[in-house]
A = this chain, B = another copy of it.
Amino acid sequence: MLDKLHEACGVFGIYAPDEDVARLTYFGLYALQHRGQESAGIAVSAGGDISCYTDMGLVTRAFTEKILSMMKGDAAIGHVRYSTTGSSVQANAQPIIAEGKRTVALGHNGNLVNVFRFRDELERDGVVLKSTTDSEIMAQMIARDEAETTEDAIINVASKVRGAFSVAMLCDGKVYGFRDPFGIRPLSIGRLNNSGWVIASESCAFRVIGAEFVRDAEPGEIIMLDGDGYHSVHQMESPRCATCVFEFIYFARPDSYILDQLLYQCRKRMGETLAQESPVDADVVISVPDSGTPAAIGFARASRIPYEEGFIKNRYVARTFIQPDEHIRSLGIKIKLNPIMETIEGKRVVLVDDSIVRGTTSSQIVRILYEQGAKEVHIRVSSPPVKHPCFYGIDTAEREELLASSRNVEKIRNFLQADSVAYLSIEGMIRATCVDRDKFCLACFNGDYPIAIPQQLHLTKLTFEDPKARQRDDVFARIIKR
């Protein structure tokens, strides 16, 4: 409903024979819930046997005490899903179980871009796919790979598939974690007391279970957790680190660390930098809650304009499927955000948002601010203009829908009907992260895809279910660059 990019998924894995691993996975997923609210699942390994349970909705809805108390074992993985590939149905929930030479349970964050050929191979081999996700392709390939060891199977498959993948996997009673060679999606390693080890999409999942952050997994690294600790069992060739910079801007929780940076601080510095780059004479700084708040606080600090709460957000996540009638539809964003008139009335307002994608809600918010009596509305976006779609696991709009894809800032200002609009520069953003520029994928801002994408290609969310998509893959495959 809010005008944001949407992340694909969160993954979690734990090896801790002395603990109730399913329960810890449940709480870990609860901390990662912001990465996906469509489905949740947990797989547990007891001896060699794997049990798996998935359901639609939030992890607190999908799991009950009765279910959790059945899930016993030494190791577990978990997954929360926001669908980027494959439609929103139970069969697409993860972890996925695949059986072949070995049995694996696999949870995947990311998006693969060259899987049609592998799907065809699997189908020729008589594999009946249960889902329409790229993740199942990868799981089946690993399960059926001829290599002797699981490590070798992972290496074989991870070298063949292209795209973004941060994976938690269960096999033979061990937990594996691995990232694609560009490290597009995050993956961290944590330690639980003396004997347990954890991996998770974000470090915020560690504290909730009392674990300590150890380090990020490296791009192309394969991690294995077992009774002896955590092992870096292989390092695939990695052209460079190209971590998605949107994890720093919006996706990851502000209390997570990625590339050794606390995201809350990065976001606050983005606001400070933005205030320096695009200052404005105003009475109050407000944010679009909650994600814009750290940058708004930073902006207020640097500009010495007071920060205030301009909107109250309904705290009850409504994944409602209730149809709004005409009346409700016309209210739009008001159902989620209620303005505080006293903060706004008669004021020159700086509205800080972390990002603008289509601009649909921003224009509604500007209108509300004027209705509440704002004298001026200055939009400050603490990230650069989003001009290019993402192909690595994020639910961006089609290129034409992106507000900034064909508009300069003045046209955007006009579209949003604000008094001024300014975005953070790419350089400013990078500086605020305190990370080297060449560690990031900046494709959505500058079109420089670490894995090149043809301009005319528009992969839709449901490519697997679309017979024409297969053809695209062939085109796609030809032009991929190493």
Residues of chain A whose beta carbon lies under 8 Å from any beta carbon of chain B = 19-20, 23-24, 26-27, 30-31, 33-34, 37, 46-47, 49, 51-55, 58, 60-61, 63-72, 204, 207-210, 253-255, 262, 264-265, 290, 293-294, 297, 301, 306-309, 312, 314-325, 327-328, 330-331, 334-335, 338-343
Contact = CB atoms under 8 A, between A and B. Distances in A.
A318 B65 CA distance: 13
A330 to B, nearest CB: 7
Contacts of A330: 210
Given A30-B314, A65-B321, A207 B60 contact: no
Contacts of A322: 23, 26, 60, 63-65, 68
Number of copies: 4
B70 A208 contact: no
A321 B23 contact: no
Nearest to A320: B60
Contacts of A262: 340-342
Given A34-B315, A46-B47, A308-B297, A210 B334 contact: yes
A290 B294 CA distance: 14
B27 A255 contact: no
Contacts of A342: 262, 264-265
Closest 10 CB pairs of A and B: A255-B312, A51-B70, A255-B338, A33-B316, A60-B318, A20-B325, A49-B72, A60-B320, A264-B340, A265-B342
Given A210-B327, A254-B309, A255-B339, 17 more contacts: A20-B327, A23-B328, A24-B327, A27-B335, A31-B338, A34-B316, A46-B72, A47-B47, A55-B66, A60-B318, A204-B312, A208-B314, A209-B327, A262-B340, A264-B340, A297-B308, A307-B307
A200 B101 CA distance: 37
Contact of A254 (B63, B66, B312): B312
A71 B67 CA distance: 11
Contacts of A306: 301
A254 B312 CA distance: 7
Given A306-B301, A308-B297, A309-B264, A53 B30 contact: no
